[in-house]
Structure 1
Amino acid sequence: MTTSSVDSKRTHIRYYILVMLFIVTTFNYADRATLSMAATAIKNDLAVDTITMGVAFSAFGWAYTAMQLPGGWLLDKFGSRFVYGVGLFLWSLFTFLQGTVGFFTGLSAISTLFLLRFLMGVAEAPAFPANSRITAMWFPTHERGFASAIFNSAQYFALAVFNPIMGWVLVAFGWRHVFYFVGMAGIILAMIWFKVIRTPHEHSGVNQAELDYIQSGGGLANVGDNKSEIKWSYVKALITNRMLLGVYFGQFCLNTITWFFLTWFPTYLVQAKGMSILKVGLVAAIPAICGFIGGLLGGYVSDSLLRHGKSLSVARKAPIIIGLTMSGSIILANYVTTQWVVIAVMALAFFSKGFGALGWSVVSDTSPKEMLGLSGGIFNFIGNMASIVTPIVIGYILNVTHSFNGALIFVGAMGILGALSYLVVVGEIKRVELRNIKED
């Protein structure tokens, strides 16, 4: 039987699953970006300073980071479909409710905003570990880099598509409606999720040929949504593994760049570059589009290297090291004043960050089969400490220096440090085997 005849008989349901992951992740990041787009208007309405706004930005990060390990455990215990779907509904609801903050004043308004952002972080915590878990189940190793790049690139797509829309909604209807619009769309999407998502063995559209293709290529279709018993010895093995520690720190550095764009970037364009809110909504989409292209290209290059006989370590690490190193170019924005040149620099930095954003693919390649959810949770816990650190550090830099120059140096330096982590610390990329670990 020829390869083409085998391909024609094999179903391709995994691609429909990937499309759903992409759409949900797009809304995941659109929800996060709502406050960023509305920040200037909220500051004026509620009369808050940059430090207070930095704390409000960080509210999501405190909860999102703290809930990574419980979220990963819930995925392994109750399955990705249920936990992710409920999370999608709840985080969309909390986004919608942020529009009601405008009915409060003073401390009660800021406290309510902080609480709702915090609850949104709790609900979103299982999202990326679930993406990684579902991708590991549905895709063979040689397709996993690009598949992970697809869902990971949704963060850039979200900014490219929703920033202009949110900017228009803000100008036309007011900042409250930014939250109403994005939140309601996510609630509707949650209903669709439960109709589409299944494990490979449970999906009625999957034939045996596709299951065999996934499993023979290193996919974990046979794992499904089986419940796993979590042992402390297993967790300890993950958090003391040198390879994984290097990967974790690399993700923290990469997420520092992400959270600058998700929090302070629109404010940077308004305050430092004198752009209007409506223009920011349009201009901020340019780096996001470049990040999206970079993310897809990085995943494609990684899988291509793998198909051409390069080791898993070379195929994954090369794009990551190149991308993170080049993301340091964001510092160049301190030395240019022309608006289009500033945007070009930001576009290059975000393209590079996207090109190197293969951490979730590495997690899918290295996580123990028995702990896909929890392993992803640990990775995302450490990586998303940047969601707390970045907005607060930048807020203090702005408060002390009244300039974004130091903030851009901080962000660029973290990208270079992330590249060094993969270059020096990570070593060979391979799957961690729990059966070799002595149980407590």
Structure 2
Amino acid sequence: MSQSLEATEKVTTSLEKRTNYRWVVMALIFIIWAIACADRANLGIALPFMKKEYNISNTEAGAIISLFSFAYGIVQIPMGLIYKRLSNKITGRLFPMFMIFTSLFTGLMGTTSSVFLLKLFRVGLGVSEEPLGIGCTNIINRWFPAKEKGTATGLWIAASKLGPLVVPPLCVVIIELWGWREIFFVFAIPGILFSVLWMILVTNSPEDNKFCSGAECNYIRSEESSMFKQEKLKTPSRTYNLGWLDTLNRTKKVVELETIRQVFFSWNVLGVAIGYGCMIGISNIFMSWIPTYLMTSKGFASIKMGFLASAPFMGSVLGNLLGGFISDRLLDKRRKPMMMLGAFGTIMMMIALIYAPNNAFYLGVTLLMAGLMVGIGFAGYSVYPMGLASKATYPVAFGIVNSVGQIGGACAPLFVGMLLDAYSWNSVFLYMAGSGILCLTALATIDEPRVEPEKAA
């Protein structure tokens, strides 16, 4: 009797029209994450005005910027453990609450005239925003079949670039209409509105959602195990040799890291982590200090500054797309070449900025190319540990790479503030070029793991 009922349910589900509501959920993830990334980036546009009003040094301004990244990085591991211990139902309910707190701390930054409270609110922003990243990946994992998770994750990463891209021109309009404080008030509103919309439209799982059909739920769940097996079978071995490039790239078969001890003592993991920290640091400097450079050093008005400050992030979006295509399609999934090209190109662009004239076109092109160079190898830093570690130890390897990256990202804006108080902008670009050299050196000493047929089996 129970078997016949089960068979009847399967027939009914197969005849039911399959909805695509998971892409509505993905659209909300994209918008919310773009808003969150914009909330962290808007301080860079307000910074020149805040420095003037608060009469603070560049070092103190750098500390205010860096506090977000320090708070974000410190709570990363504890929050990951909390998410692991709590049920999916509870973490699903926490997701919109963290977005609301992110928006609240964003709005509060526009209310204070105290530097201490400004730092406190910046820490609150970092603590509130970090769980959103973990939440996004958890939701994607629950709402998408295996074959679509890569696309969904790619859209999520793209949202992190869109936020900083639209921030400068939008902030400039707000400043021209009202003032710098209103930046934080305006940016706080969308996060709260979309959090409420999330509570109405998104449930913990597809099965609990009235807008998601049984056929779609069945599609999401039935593909998970079968697609995982297919992906393992389809993992390509490197069927061709790139000659001198593989020699330069140190492409070789490596021992799979099966224990946590092996991961922690692997120079390949540590080397790529150092490189990642350097590149995140450079990216954070673009986000937080370039608007100040354009206004104070080059003398551009706020409107022109707004468009020029977007150039690195436009380049970063293009670089991500180009780097992924070249690594996957032309280099047979080799990651190091694009990471090393990105580091080398970044060094060249920093030298170009040292000698940059007060010409908007030159600066726009140089900043665009600098962003492209940073972005062209960026995805490789996350993917590279997959070729080294086993499925069980990959989260630890990725955690090391990401943690070191966040530390690099946190320290860089503070160092820039200290350099500006002691020297000039040329010292900042030399520091960024030095970070690129350190990244390139670390990458040159690690191996490109060769995918072996027996490992894919």
TM-score w.r.t. length of structure 1: 0.79
Alignment of 1:33-432 (within 5 A): 33-78=41-86, 79=88, 81-101=92-112, 104=113, 109-132=114-137, 147-194=152-199, 195-196=201-202, 198=204, 204-205=212-213, 206-218=216-228, 238-304=263-329, 310=332, 312=333, 314=334, 316-331=335-350, 332-337=352-357, 338-358=359-379, 359-362=381-384, 377-401=399-423, 403-425=424-446, 427-428=448-449
- Structure 2 Cα separation of the partners of residues 138 and 353 of structure 1: 31
Between 1:362-371 and 1:321-330, the stretch displaced more is 362-371
3-state SS of paired residue (2:445): helix
- 1:20 shift after superposition: 3.4
Q: Percent identity?
A: 26
- 1:140 shift after superposition: 7.7
Kept in 1, the 8 Å contact 2:311–2:371? The answer is no
Deviations 1:282-330 (A, max 9, x none): 2212322222222233334444459xxx3x5x1x444333333322233
- Structure 1 Cα separation of the partners of residues 383 and 27 of structure 2: 17
Kept in 1, the 8 Å contact 2:308–2:360? The answer is no
- Structure 2 Cα separation of the partners of residues 220 and 90 of structure 1: 41
- 1:23 shift after superposition: 1.9
After superposition, the Cα gap between the structure-2 partners of 1:244 and 1:216, relative to the gap in structure 1 and judged at 3 Å, is farther
After superposition, the Cα gap between the structure-2 partners of 1:294 and 1:112, relative to the gap in structure 1 and judged at 3 Å, is same
Residue aligning to 1:226: none
Kept in 1, the 8 Å contact 2:145–2:220? The answer is no
- In the alignment, structure 2 segments of 5+ residues that lack a partner are 1-16, 232-257, 452-457
After superposition, the Cα gap between the structure-2 partners of 1:49 and 1:418, relative to the gap in structure 1 and judged at 3 Å, is same
Kept in 2, the 8 Å contact 1:92–1:184? The answer is yes
Letter aligned with residue 122 of structure 1: V
- 1:144 shift after superposition: 6.1
Residue aligning to 1:229: none
After superposition, the Cα gap between the structure-2 partners of 1:84 and 1:353, relative to the gap in structure 1 and judged at 3 Å, is farther
3-state SS of paired residue (2:111): helix
- 1:271 shift after superposition: 1.4
- 1:396 shift after superposition: 1.2
Kept in 2, the 8 Å contact 1:329–1:345? The answer is no
After superposition, the Cα gap between the structure-2 partners of 1:334 and 1:349, relative to the gap in structure 1 and judged at 3 Å, is same
- Structure 2 Cα separation of the partners of residues 266 and 259 of structure 1: 12
Deviations 1:138-188 (A, max 9, x none): 678886666544322323311222221111112211111100111121122
Residue aligning to 1:225: none
- Structure 1 Cα separation of the partners of residues 386 and 328 of structure 2: 14
After superposition, the Cα gap between the structure-2 partners of 1:28 and 1:136, relative to the gap in structure 1 and judged at 3 Å, is same
After superposition, the Cα gap between the structure-2 partners of 1:282 and 1:209, relative to the gap in structure 1 and judged at 3 Å, is same
Kept in 1, the 8 Å contact 2:168–2:310? The answer is yes
- Structure 1 Cα separation of the partners of residues 375 and 121 of structure 2: 29
Letter aligned with residue 89 of structure 1: I
- Structure 1 Cα separation of the partners of residues 259 and 141 of structure 2: 19
Letter aligned with residue 407 of structure 1: V
Residue aligning to 2:241: none
- 1:265 shift after superposition: 0.9
Letter aligned with residue 431 of structure 2: F
- Structure 2 Cα separation of the partners of residues 51 and 364 of structure 1: 38
3-state SS of paired residue (1:385): helix
- In the alignment, structure 1 segments of 5+ residues that lack a partner are 1-8, 222-232, 431-440
- 1:371 shift after superposition: 7.9
Quick check: which has more Rg, 1 or 2?
Answer: 2
- 1:426 shift after superposition: 5.0
Kept in 2, the 8 Å contact 1:36–1:263? The answer is yes
TM-score w.r.t. length of structure 2: 0.76
After superposition, the Cα gap between the structure-2 partners of 1:34 and 1:94, relative to the gap in structure 1 and judged at 3 Å, is same
After superposition, the Cα gap between the structure-2 partners of 1:92 and 1:152, relative to the gap in structure 1 and judged at 3 Å, is same
- The size of the alignment, in residue pairs, is 400
- Structure 1 Cα separation of the partners of residues 346 and 151 of structure 2: 20
- Structure 1 Cα separation of the partners of residues 69 and 142 of structure 2: 28
- Structure 1 Cα separation of the partners of residues 261 and 100 of structure 2: 33
